Amino acid sequence: MQTQITFNRRAGNLRIPGALLFLAIVVVVSVPSPSPPIPEPSPVTETSNSPSRLGGQPRTPSRTRFQSPTFQSLHSDFYRTIIDNDLFRPLGWAPSRPSEPYRLLGTILPTDKNVPPQAILQSTATNKTHIVTTGDKLDADTEVVEIQAKQILLETAGQQKTLRLKSGFLQ
């Protein structure tokens, strides 16, 4: 019984310092610390890479040297490897497949022979919708060759490509 009373007395004596420590932590965390001012960016100037003639320190190269086309062409293969094999991508990541430039949304086949068939296409790059007929040009290289039910035939730079209307659940 005596050990229990001694333990309770010791625990009671630790309550006040513990509460003061907790209060000090709360105050330190809640008071915002002043942040240093953000310095203004200094202008980049073109400098030469040769040391000065009077025996002084060599000048530091400017940032514009690294943005020159010569520097980029010399090191583009090196940087392309780093970009293609990024360390911070998740495991199993694969680059997305290049998508078709256009997606077929629907076809209109009229019953009247005097009215040409039409197709509704969507540009995947700009999400712009086009209503086209046979012979229309979508861009400088792409022309509509034929419109059938649920499919359209496009010709791009001499190559023909068929776009089909996606009708299935998983397509």
* pLDDT for position 64: 45
pLDDT tens, residue order, the chain (171 aa): 555 566 566 667 777 888 888 888 888 777 776 667 777 766 665 555 555 555 545 555 544 444 555 555 556 667 777 777 777 878 777 777 767 888 899 999 998 888 999 999 998 888 889 899 999 998 888 999 999 999 999 998 889 999 998 776 555
Give the number of domains in the chain: 1
CATH number of 153's domain: 2.30.30
Check if the beta carbon of residue 162 is closer than 8 Å to that of residue 155.
no
pLDDT in tens, 80-111: 777 777 778 787 777 777 678 888 999 999 98
Task: Please give the single-letter amino acid code of residue 33.
Answer: S
Alpha-helical runs (H) found in 31-105: 69-84
- Quick check: is 142 in a domain? yes
Query: Kind and range of the H or E element at 121?
Result: strand 118-123
Give a yes or no: residue 82 inside a domain: no
Asked if residue 14 belongs to a domain, the reply is no
In angstroms and rounded to an integer, the radius of gyration of the C-alpha atoms of the chain is 35
pLDDT at 63: 46
CA distance 171 to 166: 6
Q: Which two tokens stand for residue 109?
A: 């086949």
For residue 67, tell me if it sits in a domain. Answer: no
Task: Say if 125 falls within a structural domain.
Answer: yes
- Which residues lie closer than 8 Å to 141 by C-beta, 6 or more apart? 156, 157
Q: What is the DSSP string of 26-44?
A: HHHHHSPPPPPPPPPPPPP
For residue 51, being part of any structural domain is answered with no
Question: What is the extent of the structural domain holding 129?
Answer: 102-164
Q: Is 159 inside a domain boundary?
A: yes
